[in-house]
Amino acid sequence: MGMSHRRPVGFDEHPVTQQTYIVPTPSIDALVERVKKLIRLRTPGAIIFAYPRFGKTYSIRYVISVLKTDFPQSVFISFGCEAKKFPSENGFFSNLLKAAGHEGYLVGTVTRKRSRLIDRLCELVENSGHNWIIFFADEAQRLDVIEYEWLRDVHDNLERKGIRMMTILVGQPQLLHQKTSLRQSNHTQIILRFMIAEMRFNGLLNAEDIATCLAGYDEAKFPDKSDWTYTRFFFPIAYANGLRLVDQAVPLWDAFCRAHVKARFDFAIEIPMQYFAHTVEIALTENSKHDSGNFNFSPSIWDAAVGDSSYVEAQEELHLGLPAKDLAIRRI
């Protein structure tokens, strides 16, 4: 391999191998625009829902990175909602303090943690030059009513100080059922603060969606500010001879369709981001040793990568595990 094709880092150091990268998808781009609109309108809260492995956590990271570019110095706080047997006020505020970057998130009583959190949030907002803050709650379907009440206290406390708090609840479709349950139990105050807007986070629905994602591999670079795109890194010789992943959108979509048909699924194809990305990672890492001037991805390569990604097995489990009411949502 000539010097121009010598990789700048080892395979183990690359973001694709480490699965630490982010590429845009149509759903993520739509989510970015939706959140920007929520900010413009100062909408207090919204639900973003999707099925497991559709890339919700991944999307939060991407959205925050884009928003930080568009709204420099603004405050975006992401926290995970933890599974627990019983809600703990102490644990809840420790979690928020940690997400807000406070070193003393484990220290003190609940009262002190509440006060420390409000002080920390006010400090962050004051330094931002804005009068608003956005929370992203990941796996929000795990929140109990009492935890919404604690979050409501934070919301109201900040509002009294002239700070607008917007909360994006990101989770599974159970969030919609929670909203219905809260409405039926007259918890209107929670819905009005945290659940006004709704958005379904889709998987990949066609070859055009796949092309958008594959273009990210042709454009993203590592190391940063180098000319080593992800595609070039795995296939430097083929890349120099014109290989681009975006040209594989239709062949890859066809491979997923073949797997879908072979599995005899009776529902419309919708590819979760987790399994799309894993398929591409497998195709890149397993075939880089075949790099040459005339290398190209064959249908058999894509079929093998889709098979090894566990896409079919995951779809079977998801489909079998969904109750009828969720299947109706799935086909929206």
Same domain (yes/no): 106, 140? yes
Give residue 324's pLDDT.
Answer: 42
Give residue 318's pLDDT.
Answer: 79
Give residue 3's pLDDT.
Answer: 56
Same domain (yes/no): 37, 166? yes
Same domain (yes/no): 212, 124? no
Same domain (yes/no): 151, 255? no
Same domain (yes/no): 85, 175? yes
Give residue 328's pLDDT.
Answer: 41
Same domain (yes/no): 173, 268? no
Same domain (yes/no): 38, 123? yes
Of 153, 181, 200, the position where a domain reaches its end is 200
Start-to-end Cα distance in the chain: 51
Domain count within the chain:
2
Same domain (yes/no): 52, 84? yes
| pTM higher than 0.75 | yes
Of 200, 218, 250, the position where a domain reaches its end is 200
Give residue 332's pLDDT.
Answer: 35
Residue 295 forms part of a structural domain: yes
CATH number (domain holding residue 93): 3.40.50.300
At 13-66, the pLDDT tens digits run: 999 999 999 888 888 888 999 999 999 999 999 999 988 878 888 888 889 999
Residue 134 forms part of a structural domain: yes
Give residue 321's pLDDT.
Answer: 53
Question: Residue 169: CB partners within 8 Å, gap ≥ 6?
Answer: 45, 46, 47, 48, 137, 140, 143, 175, 194, 195
Residue 19 forms part of a structural domain: no
Three-class SS state of 73: coil
CA dist 183 and 250 (Å) reads 44
Same domain (yes/no): 164, 275? no
Residue 63 forms part of a structural domain: yes
Give residue 36's pLDDT.
Answer: 93
Residue 17 forms part of a structural domain: no
Same domain (yes/no): 173, 273? no
Give residue 24's pLDDT.
Answer: 84
Q: How far is CA 72 from the centre of its chain?
A: 21
CA dist 143 and 49 (Å) reads 14
| Residues of the domain holding 30 | 26-200
At 262-280, the pLDDT tens digits run: 999 999 999 999 999 999 9
Yes or no: say if 15 and 222 are a contact pair by the CB < 8 Å rule: yes
Residue 139 forms part of a structural domain: yes
Of 200, 228, 259, the position where a domain reaches its end is 200
Same domain (yes/no): 106, 125? yes
Same domain (yes/no): 225, 317? yes
Residue 15 forms part of a structural domain: no
The low-confidence residues of the chain, meaning pLDDT below 50, are 323-332
Residue 191 forms part of a structural domain: yes
